[in-house]
């Protein structure tokens, strides 16, 4: 691989440079539950999306301000990439105290994503094949349709998620204007467990709930969000009128900058309920 010199950079469709590659790999860890991801690059930054089973979607937003240099030629660039390989390249120098600087270059459709990583004088060039992007689910989750919303410190949700009964197939989230205001319930072989967080707890920063809603979500789909909870400092849980769940995690990187990771999950339908067909 030829080391690309500075002067050639302006030709690339996407050219971004960051002083600490860990700021990127750290965020990607929060959504790394499948091996492929779709990357959307816009002038505002990068959005990395991972999906599973057409039921759950995770998005990581890395704003342009996180990068020391960020330039994009076109309106938007989209490509699919192997996330395992990308993460491996980003941490190619191993986990050391010194920062690895990274330059990311992409020249449009069909070209590979080129990474140049440098640490203490050692330089690595990586060229990762990009793929045709698959269609991404649109959960049609809009802020206007949000019925229940709670913002809390991540620690309390972290405990709840990590202690969750894994023999339970579903996680039931109940939000209500009456106590218990926010309840996570599991129904496993061991019995039923509830984790209740009242709205007046000092871990809760914001609570808005107009009607009582109780929805079940497949626990194995939500499992990957545990990674995000472990890295986050704050979590925002929102449920819309259809029962769709949105978990937004605020993650601070090493420089203190904030990035967001979002999980969308659709509720588990009860099969014994009669469905209306149009």
Partner 1 sequence: MKPMFQVYDVGSGIDLTLGDDNEAIPRCKVAVKTLLQVFKSLASIERSVETCDINLDGEQCRLIFQLKCKHSITKTHHLTFQECESLQAVFAKDLSPNVLTCENKLLSDVVVNFSSGLEEITMNVTPCKVVLKSYSDDDNDEMAQLMKTEVSLSPDEFSEFQIGVDTDITFCLKDMRAILAFCEVAAMPINLHFEVGGKPIVFSLVHEDYFRANFVLATIASDSNSQHSNATANFTTNTTNRSQIKRSISNSSKSKLPKTNSKHLRKSQAQGHKTLPQAKDKISADEMDCNVSDHKISPEIPLQSENEVNVTEYKGFSSLEEPCFKKVKSVFFAPSQYEQLNYTRTVLAPDSDSEDGT
Where on the chain is the footprint of partner 1 (CB under 8 A)? Answer: 156, 159, 162-163, 165, 180, 188, 190-198, 200-203
Our CB check for partner 1 shows the closer of 118 and 165 to be 165
Beta partners for residue 95, in sequence order? none
Nearest approach in angstroms of CB 18 to partner 1 is: 35
* Identity of the residue, 84 or 159, whose beta carbon is nearer to partner 1 in the bound complex: 159
Residue 200 vs 273, nearer CB to partner 1 = 200
The SS3 assignment for 92 reads coil
CB atoms within 10 A of CB 195: 18
Q: Report phi then psi at 118, rounded to 5.
A: -135, 135
Which of 70, 75, 76 lies closest to 9 in space, CA to CA?
Answer: 70
Nearer to partner 1 (CB atom), residue 119 or residue 165: 165
Nearer to partner 1, 64 or 165 (CB): 165
C-beta of 169: minimal distance to partner 1 in Å? 16
The nearest distance, CB 222 to partner 1, in angstroms, is 18
In the complex, least distance from residue 229 CB atom to partner 1, rounded to whole angstroms: 14
In angstroms, the Cα distances linking 213 to 5, 123, 164, 209, 218 are 57, 54, 21, 9, 17
Cβ 174 to partner 1 shortest distance, Å: 13
Q: Which is nearer to partner 1, 34 or 158 (CB)?
A: 158
Min dist CB 166 to partner 1, Å, is 9
Q: What is the Cα–Cα distance from 234 to 156, expressed in whole angstroms?
A: 10
Q: What angle do CA 179, 219, 248 make, to 5 degrees?
A: 65
């Amino acid at each position: 691989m030829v080391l690309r010199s500075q002067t050639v950079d302006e030709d690339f469709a996407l050219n971004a440079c960051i002083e600490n590659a860990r700021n990127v790999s750290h965020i990607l860890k929060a959504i790394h539950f499948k091996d492929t991801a779709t990357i959307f690059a816009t002038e505002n930054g990068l959005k990395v999306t991972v999906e599973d089973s057409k039921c759950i979607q995770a998005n990581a937003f890395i704003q342009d301000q996180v990068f020391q240099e960020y330039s994009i030629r076109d309106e938007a660039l989209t490509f699919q990439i192997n996330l395992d390989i990308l993460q491996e390249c980003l941490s190619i120098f191993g986990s050391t105290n010194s920062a690895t600087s990274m330059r990311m270059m992409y020249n449009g459709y069909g070209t590979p994503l080129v990474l140049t990583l440098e640490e203490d004088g050692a330089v690595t060039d990586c060229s990762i094949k990009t793929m045709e992007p698959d269609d991404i689910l649109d959960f049609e989750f809009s802020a206007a349709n949000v019925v229940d919303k709670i913002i809390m410190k991540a620690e309390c949700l972290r405990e709840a998620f990590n202690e969750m009964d894994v023999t339970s197939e579903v996680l039931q989230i109940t939000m209500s204007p009456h106590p218990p205001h926010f309840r996570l319930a599991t129904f496993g072989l061991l019995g039923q467990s509830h984790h209740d967080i009242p709205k007046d707890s000092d871990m809760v920063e914001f609570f808005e709930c107009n009607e009582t809603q109780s929805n079940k979500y497949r626990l194995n789909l939500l499992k990957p969000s545990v990674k995000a909870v472990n890295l986050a400092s704050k979590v925002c849980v929102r449920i819309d009128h259809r029962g769709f769940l949105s978990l937004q995690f605020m993650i601070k990187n090493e420089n203190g900058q904030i990035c967001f990771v979002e999980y969308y999950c659709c509720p588990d339908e009860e099969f014994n309920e009669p469905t209306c067909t149009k």
